[in-house]
Amino acid sequence: MKYTQLGRTGLKVSRLVLGTMNFGPLTDEADSHVIMNAALDAGINFFDTANVYGRGRNKGRTESIIGNWFAKGGERRDKVVLATKVYGDMGADEAAWPNHDKLSALNIRRAVDASLKRLQTDYIDVYQFHHIDRDTPFEEIWQAVDVLVQQGKILYVGSSNFPGYKIAQANEIATRRGTLGLVSEQCLYNLYERRAEMEVIPAAQEYGVGIIPWSPLHGGALGGVLRKQVEGGRRDEGRAAGGMSGPDVRAKIQAYEDLLDKHGLEPGEAALAWLLTRPGVTGPIVGPRTAEQLESAVRATELELNEELLAGLDEIFPGPGPSPEAFAW
């Protein structure tokens, strides 16, 4: 497994991030533990979760599964760079309840303590804001973060789903306060969806923020969905079902699969390998439901995509180009 530094930190993380959102809803606890063991064996040390993972009335279940895995010992916690998130409503009745969601200082304090309890650890390596909070000023957010860092409950802070201007705003205010600021940003980014290249990724690079793409296979659309349909696999591949509704989209995906067949590559592995070639990317989040899916993702880290293939991928899925030219009429 290849390693890199997370943004402008000294933290060494694997080029793949183990996403855990399927743990609980789709993968039971025993199989989730098997996947985490396999991830460590493969050299993956960066695990990502969120306090709301588990869905519905089971929010927090995913963190609890990870915590139970840590409790098995074997230096599991020491080997993992652990990232979780705060923002979503954690009210038990699933109805919005004041101060049980978003990024107020009060909710951040409550959410950290609850996550630590479920995760059965005394610190979180990367604590991430799951969404922007339009109601809470960054001065308040950073003040709450400073306290948690001083208490040793969190080490670094990241963001998720932030636009470029919010990355800039957050880090400018952090700089004025004399604190480190954001070190990572999780954003939707893959071959099919490249709008992050316009402002999010340039902003992240400018501020030394590592990019951690989520949905690297665009909900399954880049994972060989058409081939699987022909072979009699599942017809709906996650978000791929909705994303494949138009004939132009289907034509693009067919051209993509045909190109990779020509080069003898698996579509899902090539899509991950492409992300690893992109400037500013720390590592894509993979969310395996099975150990076999994890093995496929690991193989992607060893792929070398030649210039002819990269040019072909750009032709099928052209990026928007840099800003402000990308906004030109």
The Cα 288–Cα 20 span in angstroms is 8
Torsion of CA 127, 132, 138, 141, to 10 degrees: -40
Of the residues 3, 53, 156, 189, only one is catalytic, namely 53
Give me the count of residues in the chain: 329
Closest CA to 211 of 231, 230, 193, 196: 196
Q: What are the distances in angstroms from CA 103 to CA 107, 112, 181, 259?
A: 6, 11, 15, 45
Q: Which residues of 197-234 are buried (b: 16+ CB within 10 A; e: fewer)?
A: bbbbbbbbeebbbbbbbbbbbbbbbbbbbbbbeeeeee
Q: Please list the residues that pair with 18 across neighbouring strands.
A: 47, 286
Instruction: Please name the residue ranges forming H helices in the chain.
Output: 29-41, 61-70, 76-79, 105-119, 138-151, 164-177, 200-206, 225-230, 240-243, 247-263, 267-275, 291-300, 307-316
The dihedrals phi and psi of 113, each to the nearest 5 degrees, come to -60, -40
Q: Is residue 123 flagged as an active site residue?
A: no
Strands 285-286 and 210-214, by their bridges, are unpaired
Residue type, 187: C
Residue type, 324: P
The Cα 24–Cα 27 span in angstroms is 5
- Angle made by CA atoms 305, 306, 309, in degrees to the nearest 5: 85
The Cα 249–Cα 195 span in angstroms is 16
Catalytic residues: 53
